[in-house]
């Protein structure tokens, strides 16, 4: 069981792959942050947003979690609009 609250049915192959990757990060905390975000937003993202989200998924889990929780400072080159969108979603309890 992934924890996902949505089915990938009806999603195009790229969105299905990104939804899967969001819930299979390797660290459960990262799964919960990215998976919940993807459950809510993946079907409404533009191609440019999908590109940005895919880049976010390429970041190492340890770094991503440290930046999300503020335990390590965020490098300026990684501080993207998509990162802030996911972080804000997480910090606002999934809203």
In terms of phi and psi (left: phi > 0; alpha: psi -120 to 50; beta: otherwise), the region of 3 is left
Tokens of 43: 């079907």
User: Mean pLDDT lowest for which of 5-9, 33-37, 91-95?
Assistant: 5-9
Specify the pTM: 0.88
pLDDT tens-digit series, residues 12-56: 999 999 999 999 988 899 999 999 999 999 999 999 999 999 999
Question: Which letter does DSSP use for residue 5 in this model?
Answer: S
What is the predicted pLDDT for the residue at 1? Answer: 43
């Amino acid at each position: 069981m992934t924890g996902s609250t949505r089915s990938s049915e009806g999603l195009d192959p790229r969105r299905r792959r990104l939804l899967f990757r969001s819930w299979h990060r390797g660290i459960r905390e990262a799964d919960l942050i990215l998976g919940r975000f993807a459950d809510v937003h993946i079907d409404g993202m533009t191609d440019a947003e999908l590109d940005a989200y895919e880049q976010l998924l390429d970041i190492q889990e340890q770094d991503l979690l440290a930046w999300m929780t503020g335990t390590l400072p965020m490098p300026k080159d990684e501080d993207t609009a998509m990162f802030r969108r996911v972080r804000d979603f997480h910090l606002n309890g999934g809203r």
